[in-house]
C-alpha cells in the first residue's frame, strides 16, 4: 500500500513550508540539497519539523491545504505535538524508518 506524507519544513529564520510527497526521504533530500527551483530553494528550507502519513492521496491533499490555511501560530502548535523543540527531525526520521538518501 502506498504511503503519502504531508510535511512541514523550515529554515533558520523560521519560514515554514508545507508540502506533500509519496517519498519523504527523497523529498527532504531534494530540499536539503536545493535541487528544485522555487520557494524552498530561494528561502533555503532545509529542516524537517513535522510530518503525517496516510494511505489515501486525497486525504493527504486535503490535509496539506488545511495546514497551509492555518495561521503560523497554529502550525507551530501542530509541529510541537510531534517535535516540541522545533529541531530538524530528518536524521531521526531516517534512522527510525531505516531509509537512506537517494
- Give the domain CATH number at 21: 3.40.1440.10
User: Tens digit of pLDDT for each residue in 22-41?
Assistant: 999 999 999 988 988 999 99
Classify residue 21: in a domain, yes or no. Answer: yes
Q: Write phi, then psi, for 18 (nearest 5 degrees).
A: -110, 135
17 domain residue, yes or no: yes
- The reply to whether 101 falls in a domain is no
Question: Given pLDDT bands bounded at 50, 70 and 90, which one contains residue 94?
Answer: low
Contact 9, 48 (CB under 8 A): yes
- The predicted structure's pLDDT at residue 36: 84
User: Is 90 domain-assigned?
Assistant: yes
Q: Which residues span the domain enclosing 70?
A: 4-96
Position 102 in a domain: no
Q: How does strand 16-21 pair with strand 47-54?
A: unpaired
Mean per-residue pLDDT of the chain: 90
The model's confidence at residue 91, banded by pLDDT at 50, 70 and 90, is low
Report residue 93's pLDDT band, with 50, 70 and 90 as the boundaries. low
What grid cell was written down for 77?
A: 502548535
Q: What is the pLDDT of residue 55?
A: 97
Is 11 a member of any domain?
yes
pLDDT top residue among 95 and 3: 3
Tell me which residue has cell 505535538: 81
Q: Does 50 fall in a domain?
A: yes
- Give me the number of domains the chain comprises: 1
Terminal C-alpha separation, the chain:
21
Amino acid at each position: 500500500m502506498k504511503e503519502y506524507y504531508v510535511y512541514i519544513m523550515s529554515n533558520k529564520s523560521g519560514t515554514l513550508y508545507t508540502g506533500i510527497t509519496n517519498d519523504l526521504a527523497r523529498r527532504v533530500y531534494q530540499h536539503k540539497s536545493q535541487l528544485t527551483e522555487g520557494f524552498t530553494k530561494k528561502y533555503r528550507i532545509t529542516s524537517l519539523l513535522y510530518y503525517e502519513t496516510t494511505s489515501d492521496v486525497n486525504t493527504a491533499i486535503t490535509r496539506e491545504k488545511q495546514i497551509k490555511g492555518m495561521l503560523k501560530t497554529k502550525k507551530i502548535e501542530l509541529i510541537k505535538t510531534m517535535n516540541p523543540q522545533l529541531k530538524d527531525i530528518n536524521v531521526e526520521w531516517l534512522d527510525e524508518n531505516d531509509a537512506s538518501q537517494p
